[in-house]
Amino acid sequence: MTDVLREPSSQLTSAGTMVQTSMSRSQVALLGLGLLLMLLLYVGLPGPPEQTSWLWGDPNVTILAGLTPGNSPIFYREVLPLHRARRVEVVLLHGKAFNSHTWEQLGTLQLLAQRGYRAVALDLPGFGNSAPSKEASTEAGRAELLEQVLRDLEVQNAVLVSPSLSGHYALPFLMRGHHQLHGFVPIAPTSTQNYTREQFWAVKTPTLILYGELDRILARESLRQLRHLPNHSVVKLRDAGHACYLHKPQDFHLVLLAFLDHLP
């Protein structure tokens, strides 16, 4: 009787041991598989590009904002260089569907500050936080308004970035006051057809012509005229439309910084 009772107990103990051993091996196998997968992911996946840390700008950059003085105040957003200031200062205009906030959302303002540039993004009259202005109704008035803004903000050695609609302001200013500009970055701007080859040829300002590969209307039209600028380079952003800086922001930032960094 005693032997009969002990046998099931021994079997149960043995069975229990087998279950525990089986569970332990399973856990070890799963743990090993997990570690192997983590190792494969670590080794096999490409890491972030080196530029990632600065490509989108520094989130800790302070964005200043204000209104210029005078009868036609213009709203602006401004960043100051985080490090040793570079010589040029960047003035960012905008297209019809955008305003100065676009350059903050895109990280352009923050990036420029981190790279040592003072940068100012404007709300053109009637856009964002800038009220409509009667000066904006004429070509001369738009050029004078932009000149006054640069004077009010004490911008020196300006590089003017002008996408799309803002060509209404940038091009009249360029024709009249290009000697005040240290660089010009047109991005498929409007109004290029209003000026002659000779007028473009007279402008000696270093120019970076940017456009999106998929912009087959305004980009081509503006490029045809802008090519008459004697001191220019052209960059086409592939797989990008009219607002190429939004479609390919990393490429846009890289090209813009390369242009700025190599200005004399």
Token reading at 112: 């420029």
* Cβ–Cβ under 8 Å, residues 233 and 258: no
Which SS3 state, helix, strand or coil, does residue 207 take?
strand
172: number of Cβ within 10 Å: 23
CB 260 within 8 A of CB 88: yes
pLDDT score at 92: 98
Is 135 within 8 Å of 163 (Cβ atoms)? no
Q: 79 CB contacts (<8 Å, ≥6 apart)?
A: 61, 62, 63, 64, 109, 110, 112, 113, 118, 119
Residue in the structure block whose two tokens are 């020196």 = 156
Between CA 15 and CA 215 the distance in angstroms is 74
pLDDT reported for residue 25: 54
> Which residue out of 182, 242, 247, 253 is catalytically annotated?
242
Question: Given this model, what pLDDT does residue 193 score?
Answer: 97
Whether 164 sits among the annotated catalytic residues: the reply is yes
- Nearest one of 65, 51, 184 to 114, comparing CA atoms: 51
- Is 242 a known active-site residue? yes
Q: Answer whether 90's CB lies under 8 Å from 159's CB.
A: yes
Catalytic entry in 164, 166, 191, 222: 164
Give the integer Cα–Cα distance in Å for 221 and 191.
10
pLDDT in tens, 87-115: 999 999 999 999 999 999 999 999 999 99
SS3 155: coil
46 to 36, 50, 175: CA distances (angstroms)? 17, 11, 48
pLDDT of residue 231: 97
> CB under 8 Å to 117, separation ≥6 — which residues?
81, 85, 86, 88, 89, 90, 260
Retrieve residue 197's tokens: 């080859």
For the purposes of burial, counting CB atoms within 10 Å of the CB of 55, is it exposed (0-12), middle (13-18) or buried (19 or more)? middle
Catalytic residue among 215, 222, 247, 253: 215
Give the strand pairing for 207-212 and 181-187: parallel
The pLDDT value given to residue 60:
81
* Residues of the chain where predicted confidence (pLDDT) is lower than 70: 1-59
